């Protein structure tokens, strides 16, 4: 019960929380009601930077969602050219994170980090298709234990201005591990191997590190979805 109430806060959030509390105290000397406004800002920062534990499905071949949020698109696309994965279309799953979602990013599968590439860009609404091409992004290429490459990309959003990625090239990672975050609204894309079908549909809500988005060992066709 206490774990559901006292959710850990990511270290990147403490400067914002501390600044909001300090601002609330200082503003209270100007006008008392401003203190409560400052506390509301501090509460929002605490909520935004929450870092809950997740139960990661442990089976070889499973890919889990790298982020909380809604699946905004499932479509074929070419991976970011800076990763050197060629020009072939791959299934891409895009997860849009609103300011109310947990913003901790998690590694989608076991493997080794093969390449990292950061690219500056614009800050259009992350829910739009063009965000994958135009927005600021941090791209990651990883190789799974069976030798297949996948990619996942952190994409800044309309009000996001900071991408944090703690990975390094050559690092061994496990599915569900935390690897970074994007501040204040964003999007995360996953590029699957060409022969792997997405197991989620647009409109589905993802839980980072828990929701299975694909199975490298399955021959199942791409799943559809409907609202009921």
The residues carrying an active-site annotation are 186
Assess contact for 43 and 21: CB atoms under 8 A.
no
- Contact 223/204 with Cβ under 8 angstroms? no
Contacts of 133 (CB under 8 A, 6+ apart): none
**Cβ(94)–Cβ(152) under 8 Å?**
no
Q: Which two tokens stand for residue 137?
A: 């992004």
Distance from C-alpha of 117 to C-alpha of 9, rounded to nearest angstrom: 27
Sign of the torsion formed by the C-alpha atoms of 202, 208, 211 and 215:
positive
Edge-first strand order for the sheet with 69-77 is 172-173, 111-119, 137-143, 149-156, 186-191, 90-97, 69-77, 205-206
User: How far apart, in Å, do the first and last CA atoms of the chain sit?
Assistant: 32
Q: What are phi and psi of 118, to 5 degrees?
A: -105, 140
């Amino acid at each position: 019960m206490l774990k559901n109430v006292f959710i850990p806060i990511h270290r990147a959030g403490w400067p914002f929380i501390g600044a909001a509390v300090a601002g609330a105290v200082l503003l209270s000397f100007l006008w008392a009601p401003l203190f409560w406004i400052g506390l509301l800002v501090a509460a929002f920062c605490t909520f935004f930077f929450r870092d809950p534990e997740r139960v990661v499905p442990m089976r070889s071949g499973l890919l889990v969602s790298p982020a909380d949020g809604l699946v905004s698109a499932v479509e074929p696309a070419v991976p970011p050219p800076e990763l050197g994965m060629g020009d072939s279309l791959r299934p891409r799953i895009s997860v849009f994170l609103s300011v109310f979602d947990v913003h901790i990013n998690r590694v989608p599968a076991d493997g080794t980090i093969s390449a990292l590439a950061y690219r500056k860009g614009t800050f259009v609404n992350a829910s739009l298709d063009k965000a994958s091409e135009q927005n600021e992004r941090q791209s990651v290429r990883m190789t799974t234990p069976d030798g297949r490459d996948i990619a996942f990309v952190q994409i800044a959003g309309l009000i996001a201005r900071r991408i944090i990625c703690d990975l390094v090239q050559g690092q061994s990672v496990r599915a569900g591990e935390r690897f970074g975050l994007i501040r204040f609204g964003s999007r995360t894309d996953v590029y699957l191997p060409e022969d792997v079908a997405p197991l989620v549909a647009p409109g589905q809500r993802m839980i980072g590190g828990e929701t299975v988005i694909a199975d490298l060992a399955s021959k199942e066709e791409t799943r559809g979805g409907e609202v009921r």
